[in-house]
Structure 1
Amino acid sequence: MKGLVSLLYILGLIGTLKAFQGRHLPTGYELGDANNSQPILHLIKEILSGPLEGQSVTLLVPKEGIELNDWLTRLKSPLSIVRLPRERFDESLILSEDMNSTFYEHKDDIILSITDSTVVIAIITSSDVDWWPLWLSVRQWSRGAAVLITTTPCKTEAFMQVPFMQASWATLICPVVKKRGNRTRLIHHKVWTSFPFAAKNKSVALGVWNPERFSCWNDLFIDRFKDMREKRMSVYGNLLDVPILSADSNDSPPKGISFVIFDALSKWLGFSYDFKLNHDVTWTAIEGLILNGTNDLMLNFASITPQRNRDFALSIPYHYEGFGLILELPPPLPQWQNILYPFTWQVWTATSVSLLLTAAMFHLLNHHKETSFITNLITIGQGLIVNPPADVSSAWRIRFFLLPWWISAWILELSYICNLIAVLTIPVFPKKIQTAQELADSDYRLCMLNYGEFVIEALATSSHPTLSALGKKLDLSPINENLPNIGQEGCVELVLKGTHSHLETYSYINILYSRLGHNNRVYSLKEQLYPTYLCFPIRKDAPWKYKFDIGMQRLFESGLIQKWMKEAMEESMGGTKDILLTASATKSLSIIHLQGSFFILLIGHFLAFLVLAGEALIDYRREGLPNAK
């Protein structure tokens, strides 16, 4: 029995020695030596065919000591290989292709941008962290995933802190070796990652490299930002952007939909933040703080545009709106015209023509009574204003003729009375401008505060006929920080003069006129310009951005963001949901509302007086005739 155990032990030892055959590496080997590059090539091939299968990969290798053709031959998977020198120097970037891979040779002191790659793998031939590509953001090479492979035992903490490894997904693979004399034998490769903002245990070993253990993406790249308690974000913004970001005063805590979302994410992820008031209200100043690294993200109104997508890492959207247009309400029609407003002019015309035709037909059918046309017209007209006359001819031809007219007149009468009740207390306005095309064709000009919003340039350079016409009529109002609304008052004044339309973000402009007390003098166009999604512009190289997206997606799908936006709008507008919907108590009808009926009474009495005067004049002349009785 003991002999069998010994035999199995010897066979296992022989298998282990064969497994390490070809992995016996001298200390300080160089990758360029074909005999010594086998372990690294084998490791890369396993990574490309395992967790990174199907991904677009960029491979960064040192220029010195590599037989490029040998690597391209052995690495069958398509990938981009960038060969970089030890020191950066001023030449050009040469591109060539070989087999399934793309080869870049860096010869220029520039920042490469190979953004089509999903993952970048960097090979380090020493234990030093001074190779210059490691001190560039990983986003210069890929979309945010990094794998760093060292060929010599490494200092884990030092490598995990270089900018190259500050990616959303970052993994370090280091060899574990055993020295025997002047020779070094590779035991295995160990996989590491880090939790940058964890309170403790920032670097964590994921285990020994094994293709079966690390067979998919989630095995190689784990969530590094589950714990962000050590992260303190810097957030700037101005507080004049209701309902997105505002405050009751400079000393009051911020509020608004974006701040509520951000605060909820901070409680979920555990990070803290410093919110600093930015007194420069221009968008270029606020966004510049993100570009230079002073600010982590912006909470003010930010729509998704190609320029922002180029300069920032944009969060998933949380709201959809565009730029609204405010116009002064046209002067209402005189109140006495309310009696005509229940019907359109087409209905009035159809009713009048029907009345005349019906009276003419009735006159022909009723000719045997020798009544005048005026008398028959009055008889027919009674069906529109009072009950039909009771003394109707007994001839059935006349009764069958009058029946459909009385039914139609009854429907018209009820429609008029019901509609009249609805419009007596509502001012009657002429036709209003409701579309951007109608505004472009009108004499109105546009006014907008000049704070750097993209819509100013977009209108000026637009190829769309309507937008281009609006851009030519756009007047910019200067910023005045001494005014409560930093200069929006200039555009408001022009709107109330009836010469301009005010262009501003839809929610803000509705709130602005409501707070200024002008919501009963203006109206908002139904059409919005450049409607788009709102988002948080985040620092381009922020590795935790994907955690924001996960949190915001959950808040949106749960309906919380929509609820918070509704509450922010109602609070900002004092409970009013729309600029033209203002709260009003029930009130009695006044003489102003019913003046039309009194005008009809006065006109009727005046006509009756004229008829009376005419009859008196006729009787007076008859009495003066010789044969008068």
Structure 2
Amino acid sequence: MAAQIQASAGHARALAHILRTAFHDARSLLVLYDGSTMARDVIHDLLVAGQAPLAVQVMDMTSPEQHDGGMEDPQMVYHNSDSDVAILLFADAERAKRLLEAESDPWWSEGSLLLVSLHQNPVAREVLVVLGGARRVALLVPTSSRRGHLRYEIVTYFPYSPAGRRFLTQVGVRRPSLSRGQVYPQRYRDFHGHVFHLASWIDDFPYLFYDHGGDVVGMGEAMLQEISGRLNFSYHLQEIPPDGFWGELINGTWVGMLGQVVRREKDFLINGMAVLLDRYHATDFTVPYFSDSYSVTLQVPPAVPRWLSVVYPFGGWVWVSLVGALLLVSLTFHLLLVQGGYTSIYSSRVDVLSTAVWLSRTLLRQAAPRVPAVPGCRPFLVCWWLAGLVLSTSYMGNLIAFLTVPSQARKIASLEELARADVRIHMLDYGNFVPGYLWSSADPVLAQLGNKLSLLPDYDRVLEAFDAGDGVLEATEYSQFLFITRGRSTTSYAVEEKLYPNYVAWAFQKGAPYKHVFDRYLSWMSQSGLVDHWRRSVVDSFRRSTGRGRGVARPREERQYLQPLSLEHLQGAFIVLALVSCVALVVLLLEATSECNTGE
């Protein structure tokens, strides 16, 4: 009995030393034990002697409540973070192993877990293997120094190392200062050629797709190649998910690539997967490394006919206002002439039509041969001539611009305009979250777009609908690839306002212990600009392979290259000449009619 008391006190002192040094910054401590008498004595000595340096919560793994409901207690999950530490204290390794193997949903994946075996038992290492999926886990095995003092050996399990080298033992750890890194050495610096099986879809530009040579390329592939070279692993890609879906929750079941990861059929995925709340709870996402959105692509409206450009310098209301102003000015000037006794203008009798024709000379930049000698006439005409000079100069400048630079019909720029437009929207049915979000949206604009949306089984049907004048909803990055490869990049444009901007990340199995290693590499790549560099490289290589160069599929950034003038650019002068000739002919006919009336 005395020996047992002395052993429990020794365990308590050794544990207190490790807690004070390696876990001095921990927020709280959770102690689980296997219900054995020795484990209770160690906990008693640790608490009563006041040797625990932080708040402690004690739970018995063998209690009926824990046995019936599992160990996934909210208080235990609360300790599953970097700032907390959990200790599993056991004297019976076999019993502890059985209890842990019964756990269907491990709660310890993110926290720091310390296994303490109170006896030297080979089965203790098997307990460590059971908990090998934890991010940080170590086994403390008691041993004696030459002087008979109790101390611990720290055993670490490396699951991806070759057989025979999977356990690392730090002998006789009894140092004045012990760091957490010494207790938990990095276990995932080298995967020793392990083959990861990825849930992938190799039709996801610019993340993962086939080039014209049939090789798998993309920014995701470039990132994975870099990481695999540094961590020494290989991987296997699947061409398409078996069910042909992306990743959606249907009737409580995840389908597509994401479903493969959730069901642990695949290790992780590197496609452009948007980070959403339900996906976040179902898998472990890495840090976001890119952003994407969804766009509606429409047909470019037909160009404005050149011969109608003579009316385009002014809007419809401007033309109506101009004609009304000319009639009002003509009537006013006519009354002014009649009141002043002036009976002849423009070689005919005084009437409103003759006055309007005479005043129109100003709009055509023709000089007046004489000014009627009527009081108040000159100030009136000065104001009219100035207004006519401004109007004619504005018209000629805009006319030349319209005739020289091809004018485009107005394009839809916002989602609100798209919702009002008489345009249907189509999207490929591949298990994306966007249709469900639109159909259930409380926003009136998005709900109206959802009413316009229909899902089609393949891209051939989608593009047939596009050719018929409908819109196509697709990821912004992928839509470039789709319309370039299908020969419609020059006849399409994307609505400027985007749908559901989102962050993109890789998705791992829930509780994957090595995810933090990939987090570190993805964060470095994103912050250093490598992700943007690979994205530009992939896009430029694809454009060059299609013979389209760097400026393709950038509707608002297309460059205007210098080119020689052609007859199309110079037709403005001929159209103006024809217009002026027609106006002169009309004036000639009016003059002839007036002369005939005067002769009669």
Report if TM-score (shorter chain) is over 0.5: yes
Asked whether the equivalents of residues 167 and 541 of structure 1 are also in contact (C-alpha less than 8 Å), the reply is: yes
Which residue does the alignment assign to 1:240? 203
Counterparts in 2 of 1:289 and 1:80: CA distance versus 1, 3 Å:
farther
Once residues 459 and 222 of structure 2 are traced to their aligned partners in structure 1, the CA distance between those partners, rounded to angstroms, is 26
Deviations for 1:480-528, whole angstroms, at most 9, x for unmatched residues?
xxxxxxx122122223323x43211112123312332223433211122
Q: 5+ residue gaps in structure 2?
A: 247-254
The amino acid that maps onto 1:470 is: L
Deviations for 1:244-300, whole angstroms, at most 9, x for unmatched residues?
210036x82211121122112222333222233235331223223222333222122
Which residue does the alignment assign to 1:143? 110
Once residues 390 and 265 of structure 1 are traced to their aligned partners in structure 2, the CA distance between those partners, rounded to angstroms, is 86
Which residue does the alignment assign to 1:214? 178
Counterparts in 2 of 1:406 and 1:212: CA distance versus 1, 3 Å:
farther
The amino acid that maps onto 1:578 is: R
Once residues 588 and 346 of structure 1 are traced to their aligned partners in structure 2, the CA distance between those partners, rounded to angstroms, is 33
Q: Give the alignment's Cα RMSD to 1 decimal.
A: 4.3
Which residue does the alignment assign to 2:298? 327
The amino acid that maps onto 1:555 is: M
Deviations for 1:408-432, whole angstroms, at most 9, x for unmatched residues?
7666555544444443342442x54
1:490 aligns with 2:452: no
Q: Indicate the SS of the match to 2:131.
A: helix
Task: From 491, 495, 508, give the equivalent of 1:538.
Answer: 508
1:189 aligns with 2:141: no
The amino acid that maps onto 1:165 is: G
Task: From 470, 475, 478, give the equivalent of 1:505.
Answer: 475
Counterparts in 2 of 1:84 and 1:157: CA distance versus 1, 3 Å:
closer
Which residue does the alignment assign to 2:270? 299
Once residues 370 and 56 of structure 2 are traced to their aligned partners in structure 1, the CA distance between those partners, rounded to angstroms, is 101
Larger displacement relative to structure 2 (366-375 or 302-311): 366-375
The equivalences for 1:439-458 within 5 A come to 439-458=418-437
Counterparts in 2 of 1:547 and 1:599: CA distance versus 1, 3 Å:
farther
Once residues 497 and 607 of structure 1 are traced to their aligned partners in structure 2, the CA distance between those partners, rounded to angstroms, is 45
Once residues 520 and 373 of structure 2 are traced to their aligned partners in structure 1, the CA distance between those partners, rounded to angstroms, is 84
Once residues 557 and 489 of structure 2 are traced to their aligned partners in structure 1, the CA distance between those partners, rounded to angstroms, is 9
Once residues 237 and 126 of structure 1 are traced to their aligned partners in structure 2, the CA distance between those partners, rounded to angstroms, is 44
**TM-score normalised by structure 1 residue count:** 0.74
Task: From 223, 229, 234, give the equivalent of 1:261.
Answer: 223
The amino acid that maps onto 2:9 is: Q
Which residue does the alignment assign to 1:108? 69
Deviations for 1:34-64, whole angstroms, at most 9, x for unmatched residues?
7653344444444445433343544332134
Instruction: For residue 477 of structure 1, report the CA deviation from its aligned partner.
Output: 0.8
Deviations for 1:57-108, whole angstroms, at most 9, x for unmatched residues?
443321343549947766573355442239xxxx7xx4xxxxxxxxxx3323
Asked whether the equivalents of residues 142 and 153 of structure 2 are also in contact (C-alpha less than 8 Å), the reply is: yes
The amino acid that maps onto 2:299 is: E
The amino acid that maps onto 1:492 is: L
Instruction: For residue 318 of structure 1, report the CA deviation from its aligned partner.
Output: 1.8
Counterparts in 2 of 1:147 and 1:386: CA distance versus 1, 3 Å:
farther
Asked whether the equivalents of residues 117 and 140 of structure 2 are also in contact (C-alpha less than 8 Å), the reply is: yes
The equivalences for 1:40-189 within 5 A come to 40-52=11-23, 53-65=25-37, 67=40, 70=44, 77-85=54-62, 94=65, 105-108=66-69, 114-117=76-79, 118=81, 119-126=85-92, 128=94, 131-135=97-101, 139-153=106-120, 155=122, 158-159=125-126, 162-177=129-144, 186-189=149-152
Asked whether the equivalents of residues 313 and 539 of structure 1 are also in contact (C-alpha less than 8 Å), the reply is: yes
The amino acid that maps onto 1:488 is: Y
The amino acid that maps onto 1:537 is: A
Once residues 613 and 566 of structure 1 are traced to their aligned partners in structure 2, the CA distance between those partners, rounded to angstroms, is 70
Once residues 439 and 131 of structure 2 are traced to their aligned partners in structure 1, the CA distance between those partners, rounded to angstroms, is 41
Instruction: For residue 394 of structure 1, report the CA deviation from its aligned partner.
Output: 12
Task: From 171, 194, 200, give the equivalent of 1:231.
Answer: 194
Counterparts in 2 of 1:473 and 1:258: CA distance versus 1, 3 Å:
same
Task: From 387, 402, 412, give the equivalent of 1:423.
Answer: 402
Instruction: For residue 147 of structure 1, report the CA deviation from its aligned partner.
Output: 1.9
1:557 aligns with 2:524: no
Once residues 451 and 123 of structure 1 are traced to their aligned partners in structure 2, the CA distance between those partners, rounded to angstroms, is 49
Q: Indicate the SS of the match to 1:526.
A: coil
Asked whether the equivalents of residues 157 and 168 of structure 2 are also in contact (C-alpha less than 8 Å), the reply is: yes
Instruction: For residue 544 of structure 1, report the CA deviation from its aligned partner.
Output: 1.8
Instruction: For residue 305 of structure 1, report the CA deviation from its aligned partner.
Output: 0.6
Instruction: For residue 240 of structure 1, report the CA deviation from its aligned partner.
Output: 1.5
1:38 aligns with 2:9: yes
Once residues 611 and 394 of structure 1 are traced to their aligned partners in structure 2, the CA distance between those partners, rounded to angstroms, is 24
Once residues 296 and 148 of structure 1 are traced to their aligned partners in structure 2, the CA distance between those partners, rounded to angstroms, is 27
Asked whether the equivalents of residues 293 and 500 of structure 2 are also in contact (C-alpha less than 8 Å), the reply is: yes
Which residue does the alignment assign to 1:341? 312
Q: Indicate the SS of the match to 1:299.
A: strand
Once residues 22 and 320 of structure 2 are traced to their aligned partners in structure 1, the CA distance between those partners, rounded to angstroms, is 78
**TM-score normalised by structure 2 residue count:** 0.77
Q: Indicate the SS of the match to 2:230.
A: helix
Asked whether the equivalents of residues 335 and 428 of structure 1 are also in contact (C-alpha less than 8 Å), the reply is: no
Asked whether the equivalents of residues 293 and 475 of structure 2 are also in contact (C-alpha less than 8 Å), the reply is: yes
Q: Normalized per residue, which structure has more helix?
A: 2
Once residues 518 and 578 of structure 2 are traced to their aligned partners in structure 1, the CA distance between those partners, rounded to angstroms, is 67
Instruction: For residue 452 of structure 1, report the CA deviation from its aligned partner.
Output: 0.8
The equivalences for 1:452-471 within 5 A come to 452-471=431-450
Once residues 347 and 361 of structure 1 are traced to their aligned partners in structure 2, the CA distance between those partners, rounded to angstroms, is 21
Counterparts in 2 of 1:394 and 1:520: CA distance versus 1, 3 Å:
farther
Instruction: For residue 304 of structure 1, report the CA deviation from its aligned partner.
Output: 0.2
Deviations for 1:512-554, whole angstroms, at most 9, x for unmatched residues?
1233222343321112221110111112232221121111111
Instruction: For residue 132 of structure 1, report the CA deviation from its aligned partner.
Output: 3.1
1:313 aligns with 2:279: no
Instruction: For residue 353 of structure 1, report the CA deviation from its aligned partner.
Output: 6.9
Asked whether the equivalents of residues 149 and 172 of structure 1 are also in contact (C-alpha less than 8 Å), the reply is: yes
1:578 aligns with 2:539: no
The amino acid that maps onto 2:141 is: C
Instruction: For residue 311 of structure 1, report the CA deviation from its aligned partner.
Output: 1.5
Asked whether the equivalents of residues 115 and 142 of structure 1 are also in contact (C-alpha less than 8 Å), the reply is: no
Once residues 205 and 497 of structure 2 are traced to their aligned partners in structure 1, the CA distance between those partners, rounded to angstroms, is 21
Q: Indicate the SS of the match to 1:234.
A: strand
Once residues 388 and 210 of structure 1 are traced to their aligned partners in structure 2, the CA distance between those partners, rounded to angstroms, is 109
The amino acid that maps onto 1:509 is: S
The amino acid that maps onto 2:178 is: F
Q: 5+ residue gaps in structure 1?
A: 1-21, 27-33, 95-104, 479-486, 623-629
Counterparts in 2 of 1:321 and 1:596: CA distance versus 1, 3 Å:
farther
- Larger relative CO (CA 8 A, sep 6+): 1 or 2? 2
Deviations for 1:418-467, whole angstroms, at most 9, x for unmatched residues?
444443342442x5433223333444333221111112222233233332
Once residues 510 and 234 of structure 1 are traced to their aligned partners in structure 2, the CA distance between those partners, rounded to angstroms, is 29
Once residues 349 and 156 of structure 1 are traced to their aligned partners in structure 2, the CA distance between those partners, rounded to angstroms, is 95
Instruction: For residue 137 of structure 1, report the CA deviation from its aligned partner.
Output: 8.4
Asked whether the equivalents of residues 115 and 139 of structure 1 are also in contact (C-alpha less than 8 Å), the reply is: no
Once residues 404 and 208 of structure 1 are traced to their aligned partners in structure 2, the CA distance between those partners, rounded to angstroms, is 105
Deviations for 1:1-39, whole angstroms, at most 9, x for unmatched residues?
xxxxxxxxxxxxxxxxxxxxx9x855xxxxxxx765334
The amino acid that maps onto 2:240 is: N
Q: Indicate the SS of the match to 2:535.
A: helix
The amino acid that maps onto 2:140 is: I
Counterparts in 2 of 1:422 and 1:515: CA distance versus 1, 3 Å:
farther
Which residue does the alignment assign to 2:249? none
